[in-house]
Amino acid sequence: MYILDAFSYLENVATYQNMLAMLIGVMVGLVIGAIPGLSPPMAIALMIPVSFNFPPETALILLVSCFAAGIYGGSFSAILLRAPGTSASAASALEGYEMTKRGRAIQAIRISTFASVIGGLISGVVLLLLAPPLATISLWFGPSEYFLVALLGLTAIASVAFGSLIKGLISGLLGLFLSTFGIDTYSGFPRLTFDLVGLESGFDIMPAIIGLFAFAQGLELCEGDASGNISGVKKLSWNIWPKVSEIYHVRWSLFRGWITGLVMGIIPAAGGSVAQWIAYAWEIRRAKPGDEFGKGEVKGLAATEGSNNGVTGTSLVPMFVLGIPGGISAAVILGALMIHGLQPGMRLFKTSPEVIYTIMWGFLFANVIMGFIAIFLARAMAYLTLFPRGIIGPLIMIFSVIGTYASTNNIYEVWIMLGFGVGGFYLTKLNFVPAGILLGIILGPIAENGLRDLLTVSQGSPISFVLTRPISVALIICIILAIYFSLRPKKWD
Amino acid sequence: MGVPVNVTNIAGGGGWVAWAQMAKWDANKDDHKLGVINLPHVLSLLDPRMKRTQTLKSFNFLAWHSLDPCIWAIREGDPRFQTGKQFIDYVMKNPNKVVMSTTAVGSDDHMGIAYAEKFLKGFKVKKVYANGDSKKIQEVLGKHTDAVAGNVGYYVPYFMDAKLKPIFVLSLERSPNLPSVPTFFEVTGLKNVSYAGRTLATAPGMAESKRKTYLDAIKRAIENPQYMAKEAKNKNPLLFKESAELWKTLNESKSMVQKVKFWEAAK
């Protein structure tokens, strides 16, 4: 029934206002997403006042277009400069930037664009056709599942620790330790805040990402030959259209990335930042002789880029159907939905189907528009990799400071970002793993709160409680397999 | 006032990064700034563990803007309880078995539960904490917890969707948005009053003439029929209070927090 309903509203999307809204949303999302610190939620929030002038469906099309493009835009700076624009593009910086350094920036952008656009489209189709049943599934995820999803994510630390497993694990533990800073939700106790009001919220993800990746990268570029460039070549190939052969080469990586994104999307609060790492670790565990993970392996990039846009559509499922936003961007869109007089929930599908399905179609079309605009934008942005390091390095550091302050209006966060930046720079030189620290910071609170919630709801018997829940048991099996495949010696090692 | 308003969201410390700045605003240099202070969250200044140097007097409160009472809700069709009375009876018979989803310790939602546990003999529940309503709603709808503490404004859509059922409003009078739902006071005789309040403040020590200009403008805005209609649609109950009336409510809120001492309840 939902499927027939969905198709009957297809024509509604084809008005000039809706197309204009998609175009504006995509362009704003791409530009803001590409600047470290300026995140998709900020782009959406900036567009809300503009949306007041439009009817509800057009207004929401503007915002969901901004969301989809913002996630993809974050990958530009991650791939070209190792300065992720969003938390959902951090993992793409690992393989993407290594490809750029080896003069393969355009290939990385090609794969990223294909993975993101098709991932967004698949996710959009799932949103359009399966939203109500998927929303029910999202309710199955409770404390034990959140705890286990976080543990599964943490197993990725072993995979991203190229070179030294011990140093990778120490990095992960450092990240977990940093995630314990701030006021404890369960007791209200200020943990490790040293009476500093700026530490009461703990370490936010964005300053950590900007510091560990972007600012540290700025410092690294300032070292050595200032006249050299990032890509090490003088000219870039302009063959921006994806080749069938290279897509065929990464087909299974793309598939796994998209699936990871779709599944993680329906779990409220998990989102792209977790999905990327799970997809990336999955690829590394399946590495074959000849694969060069950590040195610009295209399969790793295909998986991370597929997963973060695979999340976008399905993360809107619990928001539209249950009124439960799956992440910050969805929460801002939910606020806008209500400002426009629409109350989320199944009633919306009954009372205003023309609005809800038009928005969903708009999301789908926005992904197509995004692909075309991105290809032309990518050409311009890839030029950055030809600029002298002595110019790009300081520029990245300046944007890191501006972006951090602009996203929070909080000077404490700028200091925190600088701390992560300088710390990340030296830790990288010592072969520690910034990605491990970041994983600890992202997943630490999910694991801690999940475990404490689990102990509460299980009435003190967590193990027997977990074993009665099918999704939890499946997750435990995934964790065991992940650890096994991460630690087993590879024949070609 | 006929001038554009520039909104700056200052993140961090559950509002305290911004509030610490507001307490230090200069009456002349910062006279163009207005700030929003949330109740009871700002009253975490009473928590001795936080070692705050500010008191309520540190802020130049201008007006009370809105007051959204807390509610408790359960799943529609829960066979164990469908009314507030049945819920209380069930909890009394099964202490520490019922799990409630609530916002973090020190929030208005937690304050209502802490009050009930402190003053309603035999009432003991387990609590699962969140930093926002989405997690709470997911938990209760997904049958991971048994009940949820939230605010009327946010939860009305879920009641309209017949997914959740309100059992109490934590105020002395019934909410106009939920006239059929009894208050906690009606069912238990205890004055368990908890709400999310929003106030506006300006720089401490500001000249009275400037203060009055702001106050008049705020009053005009809150009483603007278009604005009122918009807020009513969003179920956000506006409540304009100033001067003595404003401070009376602030002090009542402070007394309530001092009475509950949530920091002890959280141990």
Residues of chain B found within 8 Å of residue A344, distances taken between Cβ atoms: 157
The tens digit of pLDDT for each residue in B226-259 reads: 989 888 877 788 889 988 999 999 999 999 999 9
Cα A471 to Cα A478, A479, B145, distances in angstroms: 10, 12, 18
| pLDDT (0 to 100) of residue A31 | 85
* Residue where the block lists tokens 């205003």: A352
Residue among B248, B250, B246, B229 nearest B238 (CA) = B229
Those residues whose C-beta lies under 8 Å from the C-beta of residue B67, and which sit 6 or more positions away, are B195, B196, B197, B198, B237, B239
Contacts of B158 in chain A (CB under 8 A): 323, 345
Question: pLDDT tens-digit profile of B15-69?
Answer: 888 899 999 999 999 999 999 999 999 998 998 888 889 999 999 999 999 999 9
Name the residue range of residue A163's domain.
2-487
Peptide bond into A289 cis (omega under 30): no
| Element of type H or E holding B239 | strand B238-242
Contact between B183 and B168 under an 8 Å Cβ cutoff? The reply is yes
Query: pLDDT per residue over A378-432, tens digit each?
Result: 777 788 888 888 888 898 899 889 888 887 788 888 999 999 999 999 998 898 8
Neighbours of A103 (CB within 10 A): 19
Q: What does the angle CA B41 – CA B45 – CA B50 come to, to the nearest 5 degrees?
A: 110
- pTM across the whole model: 0.84
Flag whether residue A198 sits within 8 Å of chain B, measured between CB atoms: yes
Q: What is the pLDDT of residue B81?
A: 93
Task: Provide the CATH number for the domain around residue B246.
Answer: 3.40.190.10
Mean pLDDT to the nearest integer, A298-323: 87
Residue A86 pLDDT greater than 80, yes or no? no
DSSP one-letter string for B34-47: -EEEEETGGGGGG-
Hey, of A136, A324, A452, which one would you mutate to test binding to chain B, going by the most B CBs within 10 A of its CB?
A: A324
Contact of A333 with chain B, judged by CB distance below 8 Å, is answered with no
Q: How many structural domains are present in chain B?
A: 1
What is the Cα–Cα distance from A43 to A61, expressed in whole angstroms?
14
Q: How far is A192 from chain B (nearest CA, A)?
A: 12
Whether residue A492 is contained in a domain is answered as no
Backbone angles phi and psi of A85, in degrees to 5 = -75, -25
Range of the domain at B236: 14-267
Q: Is residue A180 assigned to a domain?
A: yes
Cα-to-chain-centroid distance, residue A491: 33
- Chain A residues close to B139, C-beta within 8 Å: 142-143, 453
Instruction: Say how many domains are in chain A.
Output: 1
Any B CB within 8 A of A413 CB? yes
Coil, helix or strand at residue A468: coil
Mean pLDDT (chain B, rounded): 90
Is residue A422 one of the residues assigned to a domain? yes
Predicted pLDDT at A2? 63
Q: What is the pLDDT of residues A161-170, one digit of tens each?
A: 776 778 888 9
State the DSSP code for A85.
S
What does the mean pLDDT of chain A come to? 85
Task: Round to whole Å and give the CA distance between A323 and A135.
Answer: 10
**Could you tell me the pLDDT band of residue A372, with boundaries at 50, 70 and 90?**
confident
Spatial contact of A56 and A342, defined as CB atoms under 8 Å apart:
yes
What percent of chain B lies above the pLDDT cut of 90? 65
Three-class DSSP category at B61: strand
Which residues share a beta bridge with B46? none
Amino acid code (one letter) for A266: I
Q: Give chain A's radius of gyration (CA, Å).
A: 22
Beta carbons of B141 and A197 less than 8 Å apart: no
Alpha carbons A97 and B193: distance in angstroms, whole number: 56
Residue B52: closest CA among chain A residues belongs to which residue?
Answer: A195
Structural domain contains residue A352: yes
| Token output for A304 | 């991370």
Residue A72 falls inside a structural domain: yes
User: What's the pLDDT at B265?
Assistant: 67
Does A190 sit within 8 Å of B11, measured CB to CB?
A: no
Say if CB A433 and CB A168 are below 8 A apart: yes
CA–CA separation, A136 and B18 (whole Å): 39
The pLDDT score that the predictor gives to residue B166 is 94
